[in-house]
Amino acid sequence: MLAQTSVPTPKESSLFADARTRLDRALKYVSMSEDALGRLKYPKASLCVSIPVRMDNGSLSVFQGYRVRYDDTRGPGKGGVRYHPNVSMDEVQSLAFWMTFKCALLNLPFGGAKGGIALNPKELSRQELERLSRGYIDAIADFIGPDIDILAPDVYTNATIMGWMMDQYSIIKRKVSPAVVTGKPVMMGGSQGRESATAMGAYYAIATLLPKFDLIPEQTTVAIQGFGNVGGILADVLWQAGYKVVAVSDSQGGLYAEQGLDIPSLRQYKAERKTMKAVYCQDTVCNVVEHQTISNEELLTLDVDILIPAALENQITELNAADIQAKYIFEVANGPINSAADRILEDRGIYVFPDILINAGGVTVSYFEWVQNRSGLYWNLEKVNQRLKERMVEETENTWKIGKELDVSMRAAAYIHALNRLGEALDAKGTRDYYLNGH
């Protein structure tokens, strides 16, 4: 039966409602039972916890934490944990929803999950962050596990924080449990290549797609919003491949240089001084080069070939979509373009390559780490990157093929591809037609 209805939810909030609308167009092309659609109405489980933390000055602060496991039909939940002031149940539920489709799109044996704590991590000391991270695991330990729900780094969390979380879970369970968390330090069972996985996956997708438009790196200009772990590494990889990276930004603002930025020098300068400046470095000597200081909002509207939002969600909306000049947008952040802006960009002939494909390198190498933890056999960086490249290229080509065959956007094609896999898994447990027609 060809489903024509969207996936409803009984209590829609703004971000989640917007996330859900992405499925509407895809569902017109997917044969999915009403049973399967019904099971996608609700998250499998949602948890809201309070985390009391004794601060360095002796005071007690209580933080709000969340974990949502949206679907586990294809395997245990999988998703990151973010530390950010804007974390809410609405945001976490939306991100878990997206993760469900991302894992299906990349054909990973996982469902979608996500977690987070509402705070500004820059205001906490390292000791306070450790107590907070361990307190979060204390609160959710019965909700997660290597066969239930596996954590990973996300916005403002890193390998060290993941190591604390894995260690705390192991203490609670009284056994070493490395597979409960991915993105850990390598010496604690982490995978080679995990830190660079999201950026490398995005690069493999970009390198697969751009030749279809007869673009060559040396003649292609790039602007990247977000110069953190993912955006900074991706900028470096693109620069090394010959792309002309003319603009980057972080939470404090951005830099633009028409002649192109020297990305390795910029990354070195930021690592040493915790601030960005357009420089050219030789060894320890860095000289400032000609550039303009721009805002994050200005970066989005630059006249470049490729725009890469690699920061937070809802950066391109109906308010600024008409000002976007880039010809190709690769979503490295989760949900950087809302559904209203999607329609405007599509009408203007701008190609948007969706987050559930482009940033899937992180969860793919998280899967590799989980497999290595469970088998006790560990791979070198070359093997990790080769397997990541094979997976990203294969699913990018599959999504491109669906888009061309059905004459739909890459976002719709990605959701169609994921929905087909999800529908098959959901229906395998039995449908209305199966039970009515059974003998």
Tell me the per-residue pLDDT of 261-319, one tens digit each, with 9 for 90 and over: 999 998 988 888 778 878 888 777 778 878 888 999 999 999 999 999 999 888 999 99
114 part of the active site: yes
Q: Which of 44, 114, 184, 244 is catalytic?
A: 114
CA distance 17 to 37: 16
Q: Tell me, what amino acid is at 310?
A: A
CA distance 120 to 143: 25
pLDDT for 8: 40
Q: Tell me, what amino acid is at 418?
A: A
Residues of the chain with pLDDT under 50: 1-12
pLDDT for 287: 80
pLDDT for 27: 78
- Collapsed DSSP state (helix, strand, coil) of residue 116: strand
By CB atoms closer than 10 A (0-12, 13-18, 19+), residue 61 is: middle
Residue 20's nearest CA partner among 31, 5, 33 is: 5
64 and 90 Cβ atoms separated by less than 8 Å: no
Q: Tell me, what amino acid is at 146?
A: P
CA distance 230 to 154: 10
Calculated CA dihedral for residues 439, 421, 344, 254, nearest 10 degrees: 150
CA distance 74 to 213: 35
92 and 114 Cβ atoms separated by less than 8 Å: yes
Please name every residue paired with 287 in a beta bridge, in sequence order, or none if there are none: 280
pTM of the shown model: 0.89
Strands 279-282 and 285-288: antiparallel
pLDDT tens, position by position, 109-135: 999 999 999 999 999 999 999 999 999
CA distance 385 to 266: 25
What order of strands is seen across the sheet that includes strand 244-250?
Answer: 292-294, 253-256, 244-250, 221-225, 306-309, 328-330, 351-353
CA distance 134 to 163: 10
CA distance 170 to 217: 46
What structural domains does the chain harbor? 1-42+409-439 (no CATH), 43-177 (3.40.50.10860), 197-358 (3.40.50.720)
163 and 188 Cβ atoms separated by less than 8 Å: yes
By CB atoms closer than 10 A (0-12, 13-18, 19+), residue 199 is: buried
